Chain A
């Protein structure tokens, strides 16, 4: 790519009109991202027809803004009321909500914002500099390799099982079992749908996440006596400055966590179909495992928020790697972006850089602008959100239940989603009562369909002959890494028990 084209692209992007569209997209994304069930994907889909009248760069900049704004928007209700606005924010609730309950919602929100912007900027830089070679590597990830990545993901996540291995295995098996509801990936026959044809596609992910994580927690809190007058989140009046924000030293103490999260998110994002939720949970699990104080995770640990937000946000930039270089959408957001490109008469793919280089570099510049806008808009908006969360618990939790019902209805397209949400809320309550880790269940549920599909494909490709695995060195690498991770976890736990 010649230098004048890059400069021309940047000049196109750095106009006041374009900046306005980026900021408008970020503001809209942050607001709708905070509404469970709507999220940035649906907003992008709704906004696409309106972008038809805009120029290509303005249209794409606006949609990029919505997508990036939605990343931080989803974390807002996850932190304040334990209701993830988007499925990827479910992991953020694990430490964000406990920190908010400690009276530090602004700190939790700011850490999420900084981590999100850091991860996103990292993946954008990777996209701008090394997208082409990364896309070639990502394209080599066939079913066998993806299966080995899944095995590796489960190995990493096994570190989240906690003190009782039996309860952890039960949660993971239950998650995988629930993920098998719907059409079988190989024979396309319905399984465990009990006559409900709406379950052909399986349980709606949003309904399961909101039901088991949010509704169960809200019901448990509503049932707690003497809740009414207490604010949902209490912020002490004379709160010190360090409790209201994230200091530079706190941010820097998370630098390796942020880098790890960004690397995981960028890698996962470059592989089509893996998704940001898997990245967020993998980053959280690996951070917890490598921490010297893993017991602090789940109680409001800043590193937990940093790990999840940096990972799920870095997927957004990496999603564009297969999209721009190969024309393959790696996620729903990327698929919508392809729609926007085609509406504007642009065909994403290998020729995009040579035919539309100016537009591509304009878009890269708009992505970086969107990150800056996300930070500035977020710093102003998060204070407003945290004030809303200081309303009495009665109003916050009653409203949250309505919001959950509305969000799940929209996301799943009907009443089935609402009943699935209720069912999983009960399941969440039972699991909470029996100390079964809900998080492990959710992760296994998210990874389940992809795991089964890649397992079936792998069994067909290898035809029962394990020696054929030698044709897949990347898969072998991931399988060896999985064994090493499990061994290291066992060794680490045993050493910890001995020292205790």
Chain B
């Protein structure tokens, strides 16, 4: 079975599970009104489940799952996550230059001039937003 067919099946089951288990817990059951709070979310979940089931049987060109691409993606996402979590404790103007530097190195940039210039861009963003415009950044 192809990957996208499995993914479509998982999505269809997920939609049904959400409809039966999560939606009743997350939406108040109002008895009044023509359109209740759960009406539109439930209707859209049913539509999503049906279309996902149709997708299981639809032909689609399988995309290459390049291992190097996936590893690089995982690394960059992990870095982005770390940077965003660190923003809770350390200000933007210190965290984002480091993140920009690490990202550029991970992309493959090795020219020092560009690495320094790229690391300074978030500082420039911070200066424009927080100092010039007076809007707070994390």
Q: A415 touches which one: B99, B109, B133, B138 (CB < 8 A)? A: B138
Chain B residues with CB below 8 A from A398, complex form:
99-101, 103-104, 107, 118, 121
- Answer yes or no: B73 CB below 8 A from chain A CBs: yes
Q: Are B37 and A401 in contact (CB under 8 A)?
A: no
Q: Are B51 and A166 in contact (CB under 8 A)?
A: yes
Q: Are B138 and A409 in contact (CB under 8 A)?
A: yes
Chain A residues with CB below 8 A from B9, complex form:
none
Q: Are A189 and B30 in contact (CB under 8 A)?
A: yes
User: Are A399 and B28 also in contact (CB < 8 A) when A170-B55, A406-B125, A433-B63 are?
Assistant: no
Q: Are B37 and A402 in contact (CB under 8 A)?
A: no
Mask of A23-45 contacts with B, CB within 8 angstroms, 1/0: 00000000010010010001100
Q: Are A189 and B28 in contact (CB under 8 A)?
A: yes
Q: Are B52 and A170 in contact (CB under 8 A)?
A: yes
Q: Are A415 and B126 in contact (CB under 8 A)?
A: no
Q: Are A223 and B73 in contact (CB under 8 A)?
A: yes
B78 to chain A, nearest CB (A): 11
- Answer yes or no: B16 CB below 8 A from chain A CBs: no
Q: Which of A415-464 contact B (CB under 8 A)?
A: 415, 418-419, 422, 430, 433-435, 452, 455-456, 459-460, 464
Interface 9-mer from A191-199, A234-242, A321-329? A191-199
User: Are A225 and B68 also in contact (CB < 8 A) when A394-B109, A401-B80 are?
Assistant: yes
Q: Which of A1-47 contact B (CB under 8 A)?
A: 32, 35, 38, 42-43, 46
Interface 9-mer from A121-129, A172-180, A250-258, A364-372? A172-180
Q: Are A174 and B4 in contact (CB under 8 A)?
A: no
Is chain B's interface secondary structure helix, strand, loop, or mixed overall? helix
Mask of B86-104 contacts with A, CB within 8 angstroms, 1/0: 0110001000100111011
User: Are A399 and B118 also in contact (CB < 8 A) when A177-B41, A435-B60, A452-B40 are?
Assistant: yes
Inter-chain CB contacts under 8 Å: number: 198
Q: B109 touches which one: A223, A395, A464 (CB < 8 A)? A: A395
Chain A residues with CB below 8 A from B122, complex form:
399, 402, 406
User: What is the chain B residue whose CB lies nearest that of A184?
Assistant: B37
CA distance A415 to B138 in the complex (A): 8
User: Are A227 and B137 also in contact (CB < 8 A) when A402-B96, A456-B35 are?
Assistant: no
Q: Are A192 and B108 in contact (CB under 8 A)?
A: no
Chain A residues with CB below 8 A from B68, complex form:
225
Q: A177 touches which one: B45, B109, B117, B121 (CB < 8 A)? A: B45
Q: Are B137 and A410 in contact (CB under 8 A)?
A: yes
Mask of B6-50 contacts with A, CB within 8 angstroms, 1/0: 011000000000000001001110101111111011001101100
Q: Are B134 and A46 in contact (CB under 8 A)?
A: yes
Q: Are B4 and A434 in contact (CB under 8 A)?
A: yes
Q: Are A191 and B109 in contact (CB under 8 A)?
A: no
Chain B residues with CB below 8 A from A229, complex form:
108-109
Q: Are A170 and B48 in contact (CB under 8 A)?
A: yes
Chain A residues with CB below 8 A from B106, complex form:
222
- Give the number of residues in B that approach A within 8 Å (Cβ atoms): 68
Chain A residues with CB below 8 A from B28, complex form:
184, 187, 189-191
CA distance A46 to B135 in the complex (A): 9
- Answer yes or no: A397 CB below 8 A from chain B CBs: yes
A371 to chain B, nearest CB (A): 26
Is chain A's interface secondary structure helix, strand, loop, or mixed overall? helix
User: Are A403 and B41 also in contact (CB < 8 A) when A219-B73, A394-B114 are?
Assistant: no
Q: Which of A156-188 contact B (CB under 8 A)?
A: 164, 166-167, 169-170, 173-174, 176-177, 180, 184, 186-187
User: What is the chain A residue whose CB lies nearest that of B4?
Assistant: A434
Q: Are A225 and B72 in contact (CB under 8 A)?
A: yes
Q: Are B107 and A393 in contact (CB under 8 A)?
A: yes
User: Are A227 and B108 also in contact (CB < 8 A) when A38-B129, A191-B26 are?
Assistant: yes
CA distance A169 to B138 in the complex (A): 38
Chain A residues with CB below 8 A from B96, complex form:
402, 405-406
User: Are A180 and B73 also in contact (CB < 8 A) when A46-B133, A459-B34 are?
Assistant: no
Mask of B47-73 contacts with A, CB within 8 angstroms, 1/0: 110011011001010010000111011
Mask of A368-393 contacts with B, CB within 8 angstroms, 1/0: 00000000000000000000000111
- Answer yes or no: A226 CB below 8 A from chain B CBs: yes
- Answer yes or no: A224 CB below 8 A from chain B CBs: yes
Chain A residues with CB below 8 A from B100, complex form:
398-399, 401-402
Chain B residues with CB below 8 A from A332, complex form:
none
By a beta-carbon cutoff of 8 Å, the part of chain B in contact with chain A is 4, 7-8, 23, 26-28, 30, 32-38, 40-41, 44-45, 47-48, 51-52, 54-55, 58, 60, 63, 68-70, 72-73, 76-77, 80-81, 83-84, 87-88, 92, 96, 99-101, 103-104, 106-111, 114, 117-118, 121-122, 125-126, 128-129, 133-135, 137-138
By a beta-carbon cutoff of 8 Å, the part of chain A in contact with chain B is 32, 35, 38, 42-43, 46, 164, 166-167, 169-170, 173-174, 176-177, 180, 184, 186-187, 189-194, 219-220, 222-229, 391-395, 397-399, 401-403, 405-406, 409-410, 415, 418-419, 422, 430, 433-435, 452, 455-456, 459-460, 464
A-B pairs, 10 with minimum CB distance: A228-B108, A394-B109, A395-B118, A166-B54, A223-B73, A173-B47, A177-B44, A184-B37, A399-B121, A170-B51
List 4 additional contacts besides A405-B87, A434-B7, A459-B34; criterion CB under 8 Å. Answer: A191-B28, A191-B37, A192-B27, A434-B60
Q: Can you give 10 contacting A-B residue pairs, CB < 8 Å?
A: A166-B52, A186-B33, A189-B30, A191-B38, A219-B77, A391-B114, A392-B111, A395-B114, A406-B125, A422-B81
